[in-house]
Structure 1
Amino acid sequence: MSSPDVKSLVRRFYVLQAERVEAYKLFEEGHEAYLRTGPHYDFGHYRQLVHEITKAFCAISNEILEVKERLHRDFDRPDLSEHIEKLQRREKQKLELTAKLQLAKQSVQDHPDDEGCHEKVREIKQDIIKNKEALSEILQDFKYDSEEPE
């Protein structure tokens, strides 16, 4: 079997990114469902969700790193590889921020009169917006560079 060309690796990368977006959606929906079980939270179901989402993110991330490596090694495209490296760092940060936001939202639910809890949610949401803007910029650079004639 011959190795896939750059275009098919780029397509695979986009498919994996779409899977990651879908995993985030499931993670957020699962957390909202978990919050609805308060004040006596159903932590067992939520822990199972976190476990499954973590496995999914890990698998996606590993395959994206494989694409990154192949672009660099097999096709001499360090530019695309570098974009993926930056994207992976930002995605890791986004996941950490998402987890922090979920904890902060639970604090707001448990302590609705505590303005500090509400402020924490607002701060984390701002950090997530900045992170998403950075991700979008990296994806734009990747798209531009991957569409250039070689």
Structure 2
Amino acid sequence: MIENKLPLISNVMSSTDFKALVQRLYALQEERVEAYKLFNEGHEAYLRTGPHYDFEHYKQLVHEITKAFSGISKKVLDIKERLNQDFDRTDLAAHIEQLQNKEKVKLELTAKLQLAKQSAQDHPDDEGCQEKVQEIRHDIIKNQQALSEILQDLKFDSEEPE
């Protein structure tokens, strides 16, 4: 009689593990959001030190943020691997791959935006600098929309029965 119930217990644990893994992924995305907030606030503080910028403090911020993003990314890739191997959810692993690619683009665009903002601050009469800032902001918005769509697809697909 007990043997008949063991697979049921195993499936419940598996389902619980799966849900915990997906929830961990969302928590890591929230950590990324917080890291971007700190990164942007730090850059704004850096810009306020112009025209003789305090580059050493900003360089330290970039180092810390890079470490944080790298750690988050590693954990996300571990989740991707577990979803793929332990749960045979290649669909979710593919979403995470897309997510990682868009997050990489977001970080690159954020760095470009920060450089463009500094350039616009240093050259207030150069309309090209202001246009560049707006162009990059637009690209960030498009990238954020793509990220939201990927997360929505991941949410939908992770709620489907396995």
- Structure 1 residue runs without a partner (length 5+): none
**Greater CA radius of gyration, 1 or 2?**
2
State the TM-score, normalizing by the size of structure 1: 0.97
Tell me what 1:144 maps to. Answer: 156
Tell me what 2:138 maps to. Answer: 126
- For the aligned residues, what is the CA RMSD? 1.1
Question: Which digits, 9 at most, give the CA deviation of each residue in 1:48-101, with x for residues without a partner?
Answer: 000000000000000000000000011100011000000000000000000000
* SS of 1:48 mapped into structure 2: helix
State the TM-score, normalizing by the size of structure 2: 0.90
Question: Which digits, 9 at most, give the CA deviation of each residue in 1:17-57, with x for residues without a partner?
Answer: 00000000000000000000000000000000000000000
Letter in 1 for 2:145: E
Whether 2:98 is the aligned partner of 1:86: answer yes
Whether 2:57 is the aligned partner of 1:35: answer no
Structure ranking higher on relative contact order (CA contacts 8 Å, 6+ apart): 1
Tell me what 1:71 maps to. Answer: 83
Identity of aligned residues (%): 76
Tell me what 2:114 maps to. Answer: 102
- Structure 2 residue runs without a partner (length 5+): 1-12
**Which piece of structure 1 moves more, 4-13 or 69-78?**
4-13
Q: Following superposition, which runs of at least 4 residues in structure 1 exceed 6 angstroms of deviation?
A: none
Whether 2:106 is the aligned partner of 1:112: answer no
Distance 2:29 2:128 in 1: 34
